[in-house]
Amino acid sequence: MAELDQFRADTRAWLEANCPPEMRQPMKSEDDACWGGRNFRFQSDAQQRWLGVMAERGWTVPDWPTEYGGGGLSPAEAKVLKEELRAIGARPALTSFGISMLGPALLKYGTEEQKKRFLTEIARGEIRWCQGYSEPGAGSDLAGLQTKAEDAGDHWIVNGQKVWTSYADQADWIFCLVRTSTESKHGGISFVLFDMASEGVSAKPILLISGYSPFCETFFDNVKVPKDQLVGELNKGWDVAKYLLGHEREMISGMGLGGGSALLGKSVGPIDDPLLRAEVAAFDVDALAFAAMSEHFLDQLKAGEAHPAMPSMMKYAGTELNKRRHELMMAAGGSDTLEWDSERTRGGKPAREWLRTKANSIEGGTSEIQLGIVAKHILRLPGA
């Protein structure tokens, strides 16, 4: 404990000296997030400096091995760092699907060459990734995908379409599920990586009811993919896909925490309606319980002790909590929250974010699918 206490003191001093004051202010919108990548434009010198010092120390991915750009911290040290960042209200130095989804999959299934090639770039914010999973005819039934990769000697030729590909129009690379065999539904899927600037790749944004969308339709027309960009074994990409989905659902469940913001009752201010006041208070109790459950789940996940179906349980609970949060914010804000374009509401931010939460029940696996997984694998209900 003495060593951990010293680590906490050193971490607190380092953050005080290196985290710019501008990076201790709450993010006003998603535009304030630092995604990194070759096309990213920093909003300020402070944002660029914050990413630089955190990446140099390996603290964008504190629990990754140092040889891949990580901090090499123990689970206990990583938790201390998280607590100290939260204590000063620090913004994430880097937001990345490479960190939250692809990185863990590469650490488990990637070759040494793939790890050295991609993980350091991810850790330093030099590459931005998108996820090529869902297709127009293969959403909840992900294994029904039809995007094909045909063997052409030293490379594959990929043809097909993905949908709901978040930030595909801004990403540098994609991690993508393709069909390399038709002999088995699950056994004929492979997991490949390729550059979004490759000839034959195109992305088209999909507009949501919120008036904004990170989602895209993505098309592949005779795209060449080198053979060394296969992750895991040929035709066994489903194993990689399932492992990655667990981390994606853990990431989405984090929406239930509201970005680490203050309790809802404090953020919405005084409420005259006693019934609404009681609903907000009940929500805050549930949010605190979810935060405690999330900490326990992450500890189990990092120790390799989490039930394989727990990410589905967390994803469902976090999704419902986030939707409930925004419903209450709309109710507490009254008619002001119905504005759509005013400067006073920052372009209708409350209404647009409320509408955006409706997609939480679909992305990363629908709520119905998650409940089915929980019923079958955790509750072991008959007939599930």
Cα–Cα distance between 279 and 285 in angstroms, integer?
10
Please spell the DSSP secondary structure of 59-119, one letter per residue. TTSTTS-GGGT-----HHHHHHHHHHHHHTTPPPS---HIIIIIHHHHHHH--HHHIIIII
CA 52 to chain centre: 21
Q: Shortest CA distance to 245 belongs to which of 134, 323, 129?
A: 134
Beta bridge partners of 194: 174
Beta bridge partners of 135: 138
Cβ within 8 Å of residue 162, ≥6 positions away? 132, 133, 134, 135, 147, 168, 176, 217, 218, 220
Cβ within 8 Å of residue 251, ≥6 positions away? 100, 101, 364
For 108, 127, 133, 157, 332, the CA distances from 122, given in Å and listed in that order, are: 16, 6, 20, 26, 40
Cα–Cα distance between 69 and 57 in angstroms, integer?
9
Cα–Cα distance between 375 and 313 in angstroms, integer?
10
Q: Shortest CA distance to 179 belongs to which of 134, 145, 215?
A: 145
Q: In this structure, which amino acid lies at residue 69? A: G
Catalytic residue among 77, 84, 135, 248: 248
State yes or no: is 248 an active-site residue.
yes
CA 198 to chain centre: 24
Q: Which long-range contacts (CB under 8 A, 24 or more apart) does 107-116 make?
A: 107/64, 107/68, 108/243, 109/191, 109/231, 109/232, 109/239, 109/240, 109/243, 110/231, 111/228, 113/228, 114/193, 114/228, 114/229, 114/231, 115/68, 116/67, 116/68
Cα–Cα distance between 194 and 192 in angstroms, integer?
7
Catalytic residues: 248
